[in-house]
Amino acid sequence: MGGTFDPIHCGHLLAAEEARFRFQLSKVIFVPCGIPVHKKPYDVTPAEHRYAMVLLATASNPYFETSRIEIERPGPSYAIDTVRAFREQFGASVQLFFITGADAILEILAWKDTNELVKLCRFIAVTRPGYDLSHLHEQLSSEYLRAIDVLEIPGMDISSTSIRERVHRGEPIRYMVPDAVHDYIMQRRLYHGEGSE
């Protein structure tokens, strides 16, 4: 499961657990993005903080792992590079799934080496509450559509953006993120505005 995870929240964890269960995955590997391609670097919390929050959030689930592959790779983080590395690590006999939000699936045509990517893995497009996927069939080729499984999860309207905004405004985020992530954010004053790390 790739993402910026800025910060990781209960919606991410719910999506990962639901995908693991529904698709009978042996594990879910969380891959915090190192240098996001589609975001300005100064708009993203440093990778080590995001990695630490993912570790804290996933520690209690024996089916969850966290990878540093994109954090340690120099340059921008591209999904194709990570999937290639996992394909090499796990071999051709293992089915790889790329879990992502349905909104990201609609941007798949802009991803680097998309034709190869859909051959190396299947996509699990997790729907957010109220998200309309009707445009998928209009925008994506049949080859891409065959590589995508849509997973509807129980409604949980939480986003990393709204969490950062709430912290900045001094509003509570407890129960939106795991307790350990809440404490990490508060102790380090992440997202508090000027003077934040």
Region 2-90+123-188: CATH code? 3.40.50.620
pLDDT digits (tens, 9 = 90+) for 20-32: 999 999 999 999 9
Query: What is the Cα–Cα distance from 1 to 31, expressed in whole angstroms?
Result: 6
pLDDT digits (tens, 9 = 90+) for 151-171: 988 777 788 999 999 999 999
The domain spans of the chain are 2-90+123-188
- For residue 197, what pLDDT is reported? 52
Among the listed residues 25, 29, 41, the one whose alpha carbon sits nearest the alpha carbon of residue 3: 29
Single pTM value for the model: 0.88
pLDDT digits (tens, 9 = 90+) for 112-147: 999 999 999 999 999 866 777 777 888 888 888 999
Whole-number Cα distances in Å, 83 to 16, 30, 40, 94, 177: 17, 13, 23, 12, 27
